[in-house]
Amino acid sequence: MNIYFCGIGGVGIGPLAEIALDAGYTIQGSDKNQGIVTEHLESRGVSINYDQSGSNLQQVHTKQPVDWFVYTAGIPDEHPELVMARSLGIRTSKRDELLSAIIKEKNLKLIGITGTHGKTTTTAMTVWTMKKLGIPISYSIGATMSFGPSGHYEPGSKYFVYECDEFDRNFLQFDPFLSMVTSIDYDHPDVYSTPEDYVSAFRQFIDQSEWCLLWRNDANLVGEIKNGWILGAHDASTIKLSGQHNRDNASLVVKAMERLGIDGNAVDAINTFPGTNRHFEKLAANLYSDYGHHPAEIAATLQQAKELNDNVVLVYQPHQNVRQHELRTRYTDCFEQANLVYWLPTYLTREDPELSVLTPAELSTKVTNHDAINIADMDDALWANIQKAQTENALVLVMGAGSVDGWIRKKLAQQSSATMF
């Protein structure tokens, strides 16, 4: 099968391209820009074009007919390559339809991990634990890891471990052998119009699973569970990782290993978990980056930070204005573990032009420790404040799913370059 990936450098499409390549398919693709993922794929011999006008796809198809055009959810319906693919009669879909087909074709048992919060880390923990226990696995995860690529197909593997994203109802493409639900907390109002609609999608995902693992409070939301095991708070007591949310996520993994009948000490294995990029990732002394952008994630990550340092400074960039209209009343006590908060303007993406853009001042009105809030911008003044906090031995946590992570990494790179001369 010849597959063309549009947006091949993305965190969702890139791992899938890697899996397809490992599984023996012919692949190529396109992206707007070069990056770590595209460079890695090109090093493996994958042809990637950075002109997405549609002409490259047409040339590729003429040379060797493309069987499947896979595109990221982030591209518009009028994207030139998508329009070209349809005009050429090529099968088109988003990533999960192809992945589902590969899983079925290779006769793999799917371990599907989903949840509003924690699914990326829990997926990585599952991959790490199974590797440490010597279990051959294939997998896909929406983050980069120090212990392997983001996506991999292992010939002869029995299981496929996958981060099943609820955004755009993607996770409903799958029928897992075992599903793990980390949390259910209303999100993505641009996809799910009500909390009830959101919970209903999780209910459907659980019903599509042969077996399921979830927490008691989430089970109470979705209703009676006939095909699963429900965990209580005591199940996390043997985990030694920092952060209560990490200990909770790890306990799901340990229970999953037990239910799958996998031999070995899963607790010992998971207690050595090194983490993933952008999930409380240490960038420098007293400086961490995290992908969190929801009140529950903010509170959980600050709790983890507080276990390491009594003085925590948070730099927070909200994500997506349409989401902020839903979350604005929920920004209350989630910042209480932070001694100081620098609140940045919202990172805008996939927006409704009819909605007014909420300002940091408007979003922070209900914060219980409001005296800690400082309205800020990504500028030299903020960088100076971050450096000052570092030198005073505060733990600085830079949090957001938008541009703030790239900004702080660029500042660190410039600092490192300057010290070399």
CATH (residue range 106-270):
3.40.1190.10
Class of domain 2-93: alpha beta
Two structure tokens written together for 391: 């030198």
Dig out the tokens for 317 from the structure: 């960039």
**Domain topology for 281-419:** Protein-Tyrosine Phosphatase; Chain A (3.90.190)
Residue type, 206: I
Q: What's at 247, amino acid-wise?
A: R
For the cut 90, the answer to whether the pLDDT of residue 56 exceeds it is yes
Cβ atoms within 10 A of the Cβ of 54, count? 18
**414/421 Cα distance (integer angstroms):** 11
Structure tokens at 332: 């209350």
Helix (H, G, I), strand (E, B) or coil at 70: strand
377 or 75, which is more confident:
377
Instruction: Give Cα 87 to chain centroid, integer Å.
Output: 33
pLDDT score recorded for residue 226 = 87
Please state, in angstroms and rounded to a whole number, the distance separating the CA atoms of residues 306 and 302.
6
Percent residues over pLDDT 70 in the chain: 98
pLDDT in tens, 153-170: 999 999 999 999 999 899
Please count the residues of the chain.
Answer: 421
E-strand spans in 115-153? 137-140, 151-152
Residue that the structure tokens 């259910």 belong to: 184
pLDDT reading at 214 higher than 90: yes
Instruction: Give tens-digit pLDDT for 169-191.
Output: 999 999 999 999 999 999 998 89
pLDDT above 90 as % of the chain:
84
**What rounded mean pLDDT belongs to the chain?**
93
Give tens-digit pLDDT for 320-353: 999 999 999 999 999 999 999 999 999 998 888 9
The CA-based angle 28-33-39, given to 5 degrees, is 60
H-helix or E-strand spanning residue 342: strand 340-343
pLDDT at 12: 84
The Cα 392–Cα 376 span in angstroms is 20
Measured from the Cβ of residue 366, the count of other Cβ atoms closer than 10 Å reads 12
Q: 293 to each of 272, 324, 404, how far by Cα in Å? A: 26, 10, 12
| 145 DSSP assignment | B
Calculate the alpha carbon distances from 286 to 112, 388, 392 in Å: 34, 11, 9
Is the sign of the CA dihedral 155, 160, 161, 165 positive or negative? positive
Distance CA 334, CA 296 (A): 7
Give the residue ranges of DSSP H helices in 11-117: 13-22, 36-43, 55-63, 80-87, 95-105
- pLDDT at position 420 is 62
Beta bridge partners of 375: 343
Model-level pTM?
Answer: 0.81
> Nearest to residue 151, comparing CAs of 40, 275, 19?
19
Name which residue leads in pLDDT, 202 or 189: 202
Res 236 pLDDT > 80: no
Is residue 322 a contact partner of residue 407, using CB atoms and an 8 Å limit?
no
From CA 314, how far away is CA 376, in angstroms rounded? 12
pLDDT tens profile 105-147: 999 999 999 999 999 999 999 999 999 999 999 999 988 888 8
Q: How is the chain split into domains, by residue range?
A: 2-93, 106-270, 281-419
- Alpha-carbon gap, residue 241 to 124, rounded angstroms: 14
Neighbours of 417 (CB within 10 A): 9
What whole-number distance in Å separates Cα of residue 129 and Cα of residue 381? 42
Phi, psi (5° rounding) for residue 334?
Answer: -70, -15
Return the H-helix or E-strand segment holding 306.
helix 295-308
Task: Please tell me the predicted confidence (pLDDT) of residue 235.
Answer: 59
Of 136-145, 211-220, 263-272, the poorest mean pLDDT is in 136-145
Token pair of 23, please?
A: 């599984």
